[in-house]
């Protein structure tokens, strides 16, 4: 099996805690040959963790080194577009952490770039690979025609939360702060189940001073298939999560990895999707499959939900007006 020579750019939380444990499992597919981070100390720490990759003081040196075929970008969101553009200009494949960019308009740059290059631009949305959401989609027919979807997520971060402590998240340049940063996961899962979203009406609030940007969102929206959705998320308030779908002849509830369909209980294997997204990226590079789950176009639709919600102020915003 051919190994892809991979450079890691940005050696923070995502690289250490989310990507490296999976790349360690996928050593038959990826070899980490280079690292670069904002400080050399972070790069050296990560290099020691993963083996003996070359350490580069600048991103440009890494791209010109000749020791990589692809880069894994785990960097502040505002750098996604320019770092991806530089890699593509050097004929290097890219897997980049979500959201695609700070806003829809700049995100379109990567959508257009992906159409112009034969190199892969993969936006790493791991929730598009989580099995329980595919299972919910699979069992929808058991409740007749789906009519209404309700998802309430109460995350409740405190001041010591490692993500809340990230400097670039304290003063976010991306729209909505945590609402879009974490929320694109939720929209990816919703769209996986029900398809594209037609319009959004929402209000936002800020409850915690230590979280950058607004931290509460209440949204009503409609999918293209006419299912009406209600999505509530708070990064400041902690409570029980609710996920339910109401149909003409029944109801689906999701509790952890347990799906309750009317009176039937279905247990689903737990996965977080990181392994699956890197396997997908690998096969796309090799030409085995098309880039569907990691496409910039899909990632842009996820982000557009939040741009519409933030512009809404209770009015109805058509997502096609942004895309």
pLDDT of residue 243: 98
Range of the domain at 100: 4-126+275-290
115 and 134 together in one domain: no
136 and 209 together in one domain: yes
Query: Which residues lie below 8 Å from residue 85, measured CB to CB, with a gap of 6+?
Result: 109, 113
Assigned domain for 180 exists: yes
The pLDDT-based confidence of 1 (bands split at 50, 70, 90) is: confident
Stretch 251-256: mean pLDDT = 97
36 and 106 together in one domain: yes
Smallest CA-to-CA distance from 313 within 233, 219, 181, 231 is with 219
- pLDDT tens for 98-149 read 999 999 999 999 999 999 999 999 999 999 999 999 999 999 999 999 999 9
177 and 312 together in one domain: yes
162 and 260 together in one domain: yes
User: How far, in Å, are 32, 77, 97, 136 from residue 27 at the CA level?
Assistant: 9, 27, 20, 32
CA distance 248 to 112: 41
Smallest CA-to-CA distance from 323 within 176, 165, 28, 105 is with 105
CA distance 93 to 70: 4
Stretch 142-159: mean pLDDT = 97
234 and 315 together in one domain: yes
Assigned domain for 181 exists: yes
pLDDT of residue 287: 96
Assigned domain for 74 exists: yes
| Residue 245 DSSP label | E
CA distance 168 to 10: 13
pLDDT of residue 177: 96
Assigned domain for 209 exists: yes
- pLDDT tens for 17-51 read 999 999 999 999 999 999 999 999 999 999 999 99
- pLDDT tens for 50-68 read 999 999 999 999 999 999 9
**Cβ distance 117 to 93 under 8 Å?**
no
Q: What is the CATH number of the domain that holds 79?
A: 3.40.50.720
- pLDDT tens for 209-248 read 999 999 999 999 999 999 999 999 999 999 999 999 999 9
Q: What is the CATH number of the domain that holds 225?
A: 3.30.360.10
Assigned domain for 237 exists: yes
193 and 248 together in one domain: yes
168 pLDDT more than 90: yes
Beta strands across the sheet bearing 146-154: 264-267, 258-261, 250-255, 242-247, 146-154, 228-234, 216-223, 197-205, 316-318
CA distance 226 to 198: 9
| The total number of structural domains that make up the chain | 2
pLDDT of residue 299: 98
80 and 212 together in one domain: no
Stretch 73-92: mean pLDDT = 98
25 and 106 together in one domain: yes
pLDDT of residue 60: 98
- Tell me what percent of the residues of the chain surpass a pLDDT of 70: 100
Assigned domain for 105 exists: yes
Long-range Cβ contacts of 20-27 (<8 Å, 24+ apart) = 20/46, 20/49, 20/50, 21/274, 22/274, 22/275, 22/278, 23/50, 23/72, 23/278, 24/50, 25/275, 26/275, 26/278, 26/279, 26/282, 27/3
The pLDDT-based confidence of 179 (bands split at 50, 70, 90) is: very high
275 bridge partner residues: none
Assigned domain for 295 exists: no
Give the dihedral sign, CA 121/291/101/27.
Answer: negative
Verdict on whether the full-model pTM lies above 0.85: yes
Assigned domain for 223 exists: yes
142 and 217 together in one domain: yes
110 and 157 together in one domain: no
102 and 204 together in one domain: no
Pairing outcome for strands 93-97 and 121-124: parallel
CA distance 204 to 208: 13
| Residue 76 DSSP label | -
Other CB atoms within 10 A of residue 96 CB: 28
Q: What is the mean pLDDT of the chain?
A: 97
Stretch 298-311: mean pLDDT = 98
């Amino acid at each position: 099996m051919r190994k892809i020579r991979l450079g890691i750019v940005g050696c923070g939380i995502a690289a250490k805690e989310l990507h490296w444990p999976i790349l360690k499992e996928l050593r038959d597919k990826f070899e980490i040959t280079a690292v670069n981070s904002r400080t050399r100390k972070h790069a050296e720490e990560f290099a020691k963790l993963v083996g003996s990759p070359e350490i580069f003081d600048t991103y440009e040196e890494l791209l010109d080194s000749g020791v990589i075929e692809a880069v894994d970008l785990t960097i502040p969101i505002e750098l996604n577009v320019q770092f991806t553009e530089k890699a593509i200009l050097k004929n290097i494949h890219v897997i980049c952490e979500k959201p695609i960019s700070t806003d829809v308009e700049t995100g379109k740059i990567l959508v257009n770039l992906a159409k112009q290059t034969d190199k892969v631009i993969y936006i790493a949305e791991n929730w598009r690979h989580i099995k329980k959401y595919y299972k919910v989609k699979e069992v929808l027919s058991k409740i007749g025609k789906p009519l209404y979807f309700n998802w309430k997520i109460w995350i409740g971060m405190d001041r010591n939360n490692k993500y809340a402590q990230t400097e670039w998240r304290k003063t976010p340049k991306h729209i909505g702060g945590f609402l879009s940063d974490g929320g694109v996961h939720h929209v990816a899962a919703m769209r996986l189940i029900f398809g594209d979203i037609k319009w959004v009406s929402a209000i936002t609030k800020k409850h915690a001073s230590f979280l950058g940007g607004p931290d509460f969102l209440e949204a009503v929206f409609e999918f293209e298939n006419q299912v009406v959705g209600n999505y509530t998320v708070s990064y400041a308030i902690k409570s029980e999560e609710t996920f339910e779908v109401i149909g003409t002849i029944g109801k689906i509830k999701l509790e952890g990895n347990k799906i309750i369909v009317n009176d039937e209980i279905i247990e689903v294997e737990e996965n977080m999707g990181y392994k699956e997204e890197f396997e997908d990226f690998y096969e796309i590079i090799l030409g085995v499959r098309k880039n569907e789950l990691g496409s910039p176009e899909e990632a842009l639709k996820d982000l557009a939900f939040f741009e519409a919600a933030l512009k809404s102020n209770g009015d109805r915003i058509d997502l096609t007006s942004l895309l």
